Structures are given as structure tokens and as C-alpha cells.
Structure 1
């Protein structure tokens, strides 16, 4: 018995030693396949933190795991903490976070017993309202650095490969790129067409953004939106606040031989990206709406990125033509109708049977989809919609029966589509109607 216990202790000691440098490992496997959900162009993977099952966004744009949405996490034990300030995109101030050391983190069969975690208690830093499903954090570099990561956007799975056993396959339809790094974040070179000339861009690979392409304005290099072909818009929310800027289109975006046409492109304002511009070589970001068109192999160790077109490659780029930004924000009480059938009898003869239908109603708590931003001079604003309005029905469909992304999909439909909304505004039901508009075509008119 003593000998057996000694062997177990030696085995555990060997495992602990392999994780002492804050690294992930697959102790007995060469690779591990993990299914993910693709929501709003974001990869959501299951993560276990100190024995608690959570959901994280796989975000190549972050250097350390960040945990938020803590109000909905029960029984989570956190080790060895210290308070720090962290900063991200957005025009606000740095936010307070807690750094926790020596945490146990599992992603599939990959484990790390010495993981640093940064916890944010600001309730506004939360993916859940924007995605319509629980998300508790983001993870990037700490996972990518230890594996060759295969991302299959088409079939919605990732594969973590051990670098020492992985062998590249011959692929004539693939393109391979050299990666560069700045503060543990990966960059790749792409090109955009401006006045019939292709301009090279140094782009952050950002799987944690649902947009297609972000470009930092630079008049000297011609990196500005085309005149009369952009509109001011809300671009998203960063760690340091809301991000605003201009939305436009780029006629051609190249990643070596791969060419994408009429690519949705955002030009964030300088205040929102002051932190990101500390990397003076950075030109912008290439994100989920572009990346989902490829199956990808990310190899940090050898500084390589491999892309192969998938079934999404030729999908048209769409954008929100309503001017409405909605979130799953709070709940609403819904009166649901329940019919129950039963047998009845005629008073004159027991042989005369009839069926009675009795209607019952049940009150249920359902998610509320709330308007949180409205673009100036948009169809929604001109129709009279306001921030804080709760969408009860859209085109006669009750929104509590729809997922958030399905509701958003209505606003990305064809130009001219009629949108009918029933709105709850401070307890009063109101009806609004508007048609989706192509902002770019409007601006081309004299």
C-alpha cells in the first residue's frame, strides 16, 4: 500500500510540475476536439473554472482570461487575489479588476492548474445581453500559446493539437501567413483597395469581435472612408466604454489570393481606440464576420496562420439597416394561453357526447429585448422609437418566442422590407412601422 501511494504522489507531482509555468496541457492525448456555439460571429466554448461549468468567448484579442457576469455564478471559489486596473477599447477610464492566481481551468480535456484570472465586477462589462445567452468570460492567448488550434467555423468545432505531435497536411487550396505579435496578440497582413491601389494593413486577428473589418483612420495612407459612403454608428462596447465611429464598405479586401468584395468596414473614432493605438504599427482588426468564412489553423509557436475557404466564403456582408441596437435586458411577464379539451354530456341523453374546450392562462417570465441604441436619422428614429422601448412583437411574431439573434436578423433583411413593431414603453403598448433603408445608396443621391 505504501508503494502504491508513493507512485500516485509521484504521478501527481509530475503533473503539477508540468503546469507550474501557467500552461495548458493535454496529459495523455495528442489532440482534443471541442464543439462550440457560433453566436453573433463569436465562438462560445465550455470552460470549467475551479469545478464550476461556465461559457467563455474564444477571443484572440485578449492576453489574459477575464471573468465577468459574476452575479450568475454560484459556488465559485477564487484563490489568491489582488486588485488592479485594466484598460481596453472605449472612451472611458480604466476599470477595477481582481487578479486571482493558481486557479484550475479546463477546456475540453486540456487543463491548467496554475491559471491567472482577471475578474471584473462592473455589471456593464457583460456579453450576455448582446448575445442572448449566458457568457461568463473571455479567453485567448493562454489557450492559443500552448496548442496548434484548428478552428472549423463551418462545422463549429475547435481542435487543440499538441505542437510536438502535430503534422501539417498538404493543402493546395490553403494560404499560409506569417504572424507577428504585440503584447501576446496576433497580427496578420491584409490589403484593401483604395483608388485602384492595394494598401497593406497590419491587422489584429480578433475572434472576440463580431464585426468584419476595423480600420484606424490615417489620411496620409489613404485609410479613410469614401466620401458620402459612410454613416455614424454605435460599433460596440469595450472594457473601457462604448465605441462609436463610421460604418462604410471596402470594395476589395485581400488575404493573399483570397479576395472578399464589398466588405463591411468600421472606422472607430480616435477616442475609442486610444489604448489600441499604443501599437503604432497596427492598422485595425480582422474579425468574426470575415474569419467565419474560413477554416483556420492558428500556430503561435511557429508564428503561422493557415486559411482555407469554407461554405460561408461567398455569403454577402449584411448590416443593421434599421438603426436599432437591442439587448436581452431584463425580463417581461407574458400571459400565455393554454387550451384544455374535455368531455361533456347532453342533459337529455348520456349518449349525446360533446367536447368542451376550456381556456386557461399562465403568467410566465420571458426575456425582454430592449432598444439600447438608436442611430441618428435612421428608419427607427424617424418612426419615433426611443431608447428603453421593449420590443414585444416583430412582424406579428412574439419576440419572447425568438432568440435574440433571430430578432436582430430581421433588421439585416433586404432593403425596403417592412418592419412592424409592437413596443412596450413604460407599460403602454404602441405600434410602429418603418422600412429598412440602404444608408449607402441614400448618401450617393444628389
Structure 2
């Protein structure tokens, strides 16, 4: 999948005291929260000052962020204490944010009475169009540092437990790895195989990125894209868009777990200046690999445990169409109103053979309803969709002769990751004109 919004991982925030703390005030000192898995990203329900919101669970962010806060600021009753500037991925300028203190945060039965947030009013930082559901913020280190957190990707729930109450179950099928921390972000040692050579790498664990693997090109380590790659948009950063090369590595190894032909992105060096503050870092391990395991994060003890799940053998595919879609508001759609269908008249008539037949006339009523609209927001140059004539801004009306609004954003996107050779038909609207296009899915390199 496209790597969305990865820049939030690399915030340059100073460390603060830990007076704020997440607690679980029930007898078990544990709670289970169901989440939505969209584009390999975990979206959890979070209540802030009594307002129910949705947050991205991101192991790579040091302080929680709320964005587009102007839409909900009155309800949140934020207490602002200072204005700061944040810098992240991308080659743009730092953005302005307000620090808000002493907020009450609840995640299920988990609660923190004195949580800080960084509120960003930049309308460009909006995850909802790309994910197809409302997302109001990001939370990471402040939650992970206080609790032992089990992420069950296969059954789509997280279990949060106070560390002293968490009990590990002996399991020969899992692997426990040591965590290292730099600027409150977790790193592990792994291994990539490039041109049959095994290369040790230190990677940020980044549940806030939807790609499989990011690597920083380094000739001294023989880490580079090689000859088989394609240039692509990698995602939106806190400080701008991120571009780079996409390819595959022969293998990726976490101790005895081995994945073959893994998608990898090599971001442009100008976009990752902040990420390279940690000199030993070689890249990021993200959602398209993490989802293949059920993972236990134990920050207090400094370990992470991986156990393979049903996603493990899922093939690593790229977008074979070149299209990146986003939710683009709603449109009025004419639908049959079944509740208002009624018999208009009926009568017996003779057919040509002299037999009687009952003719029933039904009066059909229609209604106008609002349905989600999807538009092309990125289009890879020389991709099948680009060569077919599709353009950025095109509104998708039908997909393979079925109305687009009957699909979720992720369901349509998944069709673009289907097998090479499959045919895709799209009906689109461009500047009020309806057009038909079709193309064959093709490997991008």
C-alpha cells in the first residue's frame, strides 16, 4: 500500500517529565480495544475531554497530535500553553502547532488525566480523505511507555495491560527482540537480503506507516535500489510530500522469521534529513510487515515479541494501476425507493395462444441520496491508468460496471493491487463530462 503520513514519526520534540500517566482502574488492570485496520494502519477510538474521536496508533511518534482542531476545538476545551514549530518528513518548512496541557484521555477503560497534545490547524494534514474514515489525531509513545500493549492484527484488537500485571505465555512459535530507544522511538536490529547478501540493519518500528519497509540508500553497506525500481510518490510528510524509489529486496529476516520478495521504498535524501538524526538508523519497519505478526510491545522491559499470523504468507504486491484515490466528499445518487413501490394496476390479458396472463404494473419511485465520492489524487507517470488517459481529479463513477459508491475506499484500492494481467474498467466524470476507460494491470518495474 501507499505509505501514508509517515512524517508524523519524526517529530523533533523535546522530552518532558512523566507526571502524566495512563492507568487502568479495573480489577484486571487490563482492557481490550477493537480497531479498524485500513491500509495496514491501526485506527483506535480515543475520547479526549469527553469528545469521541479516532486516532492512528503510531509507535513512531513521541507526543500525541490532534490536527484540523478548528473543527472540534470548542468541544475539546483545549488549554493552550505555548506555540511551537514542528519539523518532519518532506522538504518543506516547519509547521506551527499549539501545545495543550492537562487533557483527559480515555481509550476504553484506560485513562490519563493529564495528557499533553500538540494541536495543528493545517488543513492539509488530514488523513480522512486517504483512509476513507475520519481520523483526528495520532498517539504513540505516551501510551506505550506506560503499558504493555498486545496488537493482534489478525483479530483486529489491542490489549492494554499495566506492566506489573502482564504475564507472558511460553510460546516456541514467537521471537522476542530487544528494543532500543532514540528520542522516545523504538528500534530493532533485523536483516535484509539484497543480491543474495545478508545485511544487518537498524530499523525504526513504525506502525504509523503503511509500507512494508523503508531503507536509506548507503553504498558503504550495499543498500541501494539497483537497476530494477520505479519512481513514485511515497506519502505526505509533516513538512511536505515525500518521493523516492520503489523496488523489492530478496528477503527480510527477524531472527528465524523470513519473508521473501518484500516491497521496499528508498526515500529521497532531501525528504529524510530529520530521520537521519539517528546516525545508526538504516530505515523503517512498517505496517505491511507488522500486520503479518501479532506483536507484544513491552517498552517498560525493553522488548518486543513477534508471532506470525494468517497474513504472514500474503504476497507483497504493488499498485499495478498507478492510481491513488481519496475520498472527495459526497454526490447525489438516484436510487430506487423500495419503500414507496406500489401496485399501479393489474389485469388479465390473452396472449397469442389464447391463454390468460396476469399483467402487473408497478409504480416505481426514486429518491436522491448522498453517497461517498472518490477521486484520483495521485497518478504514477507512464502507469497503465496514465497511459489509458486518466487524469488527476477524475471522479470515479463505476468500477468494473458497478457503482463506485457501493465500495469502500479500501475495497476499490485493493482492486488496483490485484494480479498483473487483470482488466479494470472505470467510468469517470471530468469537468461534467462522463468518460469510459479501461486498462490492464501491469508490474511497475
TM-score (norm 1): 0.91
Report the alpha carbon displacement of residue 20 of structure 1 after superposing the two structures with TM: 7.8
- SS of 1:297 mapped into structure 2: strand
Match of 2:146 in 1: 146
Report the alpha carbon displacement of residue 360 of structure 1 after superposing the two structures with TM: 2.3
Q: Deviations over 1:41-62 (max 9, x none)?
A: 1111110000000010100010
- The answer on 1:366 being equivalent to 2:371 is yes
Q: Find the aligned partners of 1:307 and 1:96 in 2 and give their Cα distance.
A: 37
Report the alpha carbon displacement of residue 70 of structure 1 after superposing the two structures with TM: 3.1
Report the alpha carbon displacement of residue 92 of structure 1 after superposing the two structures with TM: 1.1
Q: Find the aligned partners of 1:309 and 1:143 in 2 and give their Cα distance.
A: 24
Q: Find the aligned partners of 1:395 and 1:353 in 2 and give their Cα distance.
A: 37
Q: Deviations over 1:393-418 (max 9, x none)?
A: 11111111110000101100110111
- The answer on 1:25 being equivalent to 2:23 is yes
Report the alpha carbon displacement of residue 169 of structure 1 after superposing the two structures with TM: 1.6
Q: 1:424 aligns with which of 421, 424, 429?
A: 429
Q: Deviations over 1:338-389 (max 9, x none)?
A: 35131525599xxx98532223222222221111111111111111111111
Report how many residues are paired. 419
Q: Superposition pairs for residues 280-359 of structure 1, below 5 Å?
A: 280-338=279-337, 340-344=341-345, 355-359=360-364
Match of 1:75 in 2: 75
The question of whether the paired residues in 2 share the 8 Å contact of 1:298 and 1:306 is answered with yes
Match of 1:223 in 2: 223
Q: Superposition pairs for residues 105-144 of structure 1, below 5 Å?
A: 105-144=105-144
Q: Deviations over 1:316-337 (max 9, x none)?
A: 1111011111110222222223
Structure 1 gaps, min length 5: 1-18, 441-446
Q: Find the aligned partners of 2:299 and 2:277 in 1 and give their Cα distance.
A: 22
- The alpha-carbon distance between structure 1 residues 90 and 20, as it changes in their structure 2 partners (threshold 3 A), is closer
Report the alpha carbon displacement of residue 75 of structure 1 after superposing the two structures with TM: 2.1
- The alpha-carbon distance between structure 1 residues 361 and 179, as it changes in their structure 2 partners (threshold 3 A), is same
Match of 2:194 in 1: 194
Match of 1:159 in 2: 159
Match of 1:443 in 2: none
Q: 1:406 aligns with which of 406, 411, 422?
A: 411
Q: Deviations over 1:246-277 (max 9, x none)?
A: 11001110011000000010001111111111
Q: 1:435 aligns with which of 413, 416, 440?
A: 440
The question of whether the paired residues in 1 share the 8 Å contact of 2:46 and 2:106 is answered with yes
Poorly superposed stretches of 4+, deviation over 4 Å:
345-348
Q: Deviations over 1:54-77 (max 9, x none)?
A: 010100010011111435536221
Q: Find the aligned partners of 1:20 and 1:189 in 2 and give their Cα distance.
A: 28
Match of 2:7 in 1: none
Q: Superposition pairs for residues 379-418 of structure 1, below 5 Å?
A: 379-418=384-423
- SS of 2:129 mapped into structure 1: helix
Match of 2:91 in 1: 91
Report the alpha carbon displacement of residue 81 of structure 1 after superposing the two structures with TM: 3.4
Report the alpha carbon displacement of residue 87 of structure 1 after superposing the two structures with TM: 1.4
Q: Deviations over 1:408-433 (max 9, x none)?
A: 01100110111111111011101111
Match of 2:102 in 1: 102
Q: Find the aligned partners of 2:403 and 2:123 in 1 and give their Cα distance.
A: 28
Indicate the larger mover: 69-78 or 109-118: 69-78
Q: Find the aligned partners of 1:109 and 1:125 in 2 and give their Cα distance.
A: 29
The question of whether the paired residues in 2 share the 8 Å contact of 1:343 and 1:353 is answered with no
Match of 1:38 in 2: 37
The question of whether the paired residues in 2 share the 8 Å contact of 1:46 and 1:55 is answered with yes
Match of 1:258 in 2: 257
Q: Deviations over 1:206-234 (max 9, x none)?
A: 0011110000111111110121x110011
Match of 1:58 in 2: 57
Q: Deviations over 1:160-198 (max 9, x none)?
A: 111112222211111111110111000011111123221
Indicate the larger mover: 326-335 or 370-379: 326-335
- SS of 1:75 mapped into structure 2: helix
Q: Find the aligned partners of 1:166 and 1:433 in 2 and give their Cα distance.
A: 54
Report the alpha carbon displacement of residue 27 of structure 1 after superposing the two structures with TM: 2.4
